[in-house]
């Protein structure tokens, strides 16, 4: 029979993060984490599959929030509205009181290349699940991929800014700013592409590898 320890999961998560910060992720054992809050290794493994899981189970919930927001959107929602709903859900997922945790978690991940890889894979999976949810809502390819990648780009960039030193704005406000930046950047890039194309048209004999010269 599984004994339920009230609050054990949160206590283990906090204890793990503190130990990872203090002595490094690799140097910390599950036994140490559990003992530091008066619990056993067995209790730890009832809550988390391994040492990494305390850092990454939130990403599964975040992924679900992206997918749910798409699934729950009104029947006639446009791709733009579906992505906006997912971004709103992501902003709700990270209220101000979560910022300190997110900053410390980032510090642990940046210090450990295998954790960085895990983070990359988790975000890539989130984007894939988001794309799939958009397709299920009738957004055809390649538009579903464009919409999902744009949405997760905005989230990723805004999140990075949200946890930056001294940043105090809400994630929703930072996302709004990043959205505007993405629009400007994409427009400039698109304009640049057209210039290049026009230039190519004007001088068809120009070497095609020019851009790398």
Cα–Cα distance between 16 and 208 in angstroms, integer? 54
Minimum distance of its own copies from residue 31's CB (angstroms):
31
If one asks whether residue 136 binds its own copies (CB under 8 A), the answer comes out as no
If one asks whether residue 161 binds its own copies (CB under 8 A), the answer comes out as yes
- Cβ neighbourhood burial of 4 (10 Å; 0-12, 13-18, 19+): exposed
Residue 42 or 143: the one with the smaller Cβ distance to its own copies is 143
Residue 133 or 179: the one with the smaller Cβ distance to its own copies is 179
- Cβ neighbourhood burial of 90 (10 Å; 0-12, 13-18, 19+): buried
Asked if 91 and 66 touch (Cβ cutoff 8 Å), the reply is no
Cα–Cα distance between 177 and 78 in angstroms, integer? 21
If one asks whether residue 85 binds its own copies (CB under 8 A), the answer comes out as yes
If one asks whether residue 123 binds its own copies (CB under 8 A), the answer comes out as yes
- Using the contact rule CB under 8 A, the part of the chain among 29-37, 44-52, 104-112, 177-185 near its own copies is 177-185
If one asks whether residue 192 binds its own copies (CB under 8 A), the answer comes out as yes
Among 110, 124, 199, 206, binds its own copies (CB under 8 A): 124
């Amino acid at each position: 029979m599984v004994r339920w320890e009230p609050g054990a999961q949160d206590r283990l998560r906090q204890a793990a993060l503190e130990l990872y910060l203090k002595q490094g992720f690799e140097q910390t054992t599950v036994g140490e984490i559990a003992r530091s809050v008066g619990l056993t290794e067995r209790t730890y493994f009832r809550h988390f599959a391994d040492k990494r899981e305390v850092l990454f189970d939130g990403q599964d919930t975040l992924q679900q929030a992206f997918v749910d927001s798409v699934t729950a959107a009104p029947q006639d929602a446009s791709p733009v509205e579906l992505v906006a709903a997912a971004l709103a859900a992501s902003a709700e997922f990270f209220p101000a009181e979560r910022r300190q945790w997110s900053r410390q978690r980032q510090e642990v991940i940046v210090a450990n290349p295998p954790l960085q890889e895990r983070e990359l894979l988790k975000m890539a999976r989130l984007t894939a699940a988001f794309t799939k949810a958009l397709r299920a809502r009738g957004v055809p390819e390649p538009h579903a991929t464009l919409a999902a990648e744009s949405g997760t780009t905005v989230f990723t960039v805004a999140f990075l800014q949200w946890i930056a030193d001294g940043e105090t704005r809400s994630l929703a406000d930072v996302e709004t700013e990043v959205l505007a930046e993405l629009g400007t950047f994409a427009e400039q890039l698109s304009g640049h592409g057209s210039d290049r194309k026009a230039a190519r048209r004007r001088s068809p004999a120009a070497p095609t590898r020019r851009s790398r010269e």
